[in-house]
Amino acid sequence: MQNIKIIKIGGNVVNDTTVLHAFLKDFANLESPKILIHGGGVLATTLAEKLAIKQTIIDGRRITDAATLDIATMVYAGSINKNIVATLQAMDCNAVGLSGADGNLILGHKRVSSPIDYGFVGDIDTVNTNFLQILIENGFLPIVCPIIHDGTGQLLNTNADTIASEIAVSLSKIYNVDLLFCFEKLGVLQDVNDENSIIENLDFELFGNLKSKKLIANGMIPKLHNGFLALEKGVQSVSICHAKNINHQNNFIGTKLSL
């Protein structure tokens, strides 16, 4: 099977124009096929604060009321997605920006409101693998934002790490998939204040131990849950690294997950 890289970019990288541009330059130089999934929670939170719309995040997941959904859609599917697409077009990459509603790419349902009511947050049911394959085989570069739909006209906000994992799993049936989660840290750190405390190899048991000691918390929890799930369901490799290190395949700096 052909190899494909699926890269999720998030954290403060998306919020920093200079860092994001440098990442996109490296991303553009990666061999195809490849897919980029992006978050943008920092920018969404900033806009919400400007509009005096209170934001609540539990274990790295955003509570999404109707007003927050509007903000998420504007920021994720609008400004961030289209600026990334335009930047990549300037780098001779034929990028196409997508939400889950485009081409029926990602269909989901509103998360059950017990024990926590997350509002208009979606859980994924299906990924349109055939649509992605058509785009890839015709030379397009999919850029996917974390907005999906439920098939009845309702948009839903979904964790970008989850989208990256689900797309990786769906494509693992037809490609050898390498999934990378990239952000502003060098990898999973045993001490968030010490950049040299990278955990180079992280298995599920160690993850559980570090989580119980609260050494892994907040947004890293869903990222790692999604990474381990992807490995369980057939994804070839899952890594977590700094956005500047996506091209360092022979001298990888970051965290590799294993079951």
The rounded average pLDDT for each run of 10 residues, N- to C-terminus, in the chain (259 residues) is 94 88 95 93 85 80 88 94 97 97 97 87 97 96 98 96 96 96 90 87 91 83 91 96 82 90
Q: What was the pLDDT predicted at 173? A: 94
Judge whether 224 and 257 are in contact, CB under 8 Å. yes
Dist. CA 196–CA 215, nearest whole Å: 15
Q: Three-class SS of residue 58? A: strand
Q: What was the pLDDT predicted at 87? A: 97
Both tokens assigned to 225: 């849950």
Q: What DSSP string runs through 172-192?
A: TTTEEEEEEEEESSSS-BSST
Dist. CA 239–CA 180, nearest whole Å: 5
Find where tokens 């274990």 sit: 59
Q: What was the pLDDT predicted at 192? A: 82
Amino acid type, 158: T
Dist. CA 259–CA 256, nearest whole Å: 10
Q: What was the pLDDT predicted at 60? A: 64
Dist. CA 117–CA 61, nearest whole Å: 11
CA-to-CA separations, 53 to 6, 65, 122, 210, in angstroms, rounded: 33, 10, 20, 34
Judge whether 75 and 42 are in contact, CB under 8 Å. no
Q: What was the pLDDT predicted at 44? A: 85
Q: Name which of 199, 239, 232 is nearest 215 in CA terms.
A: 199
* Helices 220-232, 160-171: crossing angle, 10 deg rounding: 10
Q: What was the pLDDT predicted at 218? A: 77
Q: What was the pLDDT predicted at 226? A: 92
Full-model pTM: 0.93
Domains (range + CATH), the chain = 2-258 (3.40.1160.10)
Q: What was the pLDDT predicted at 249? A: 64
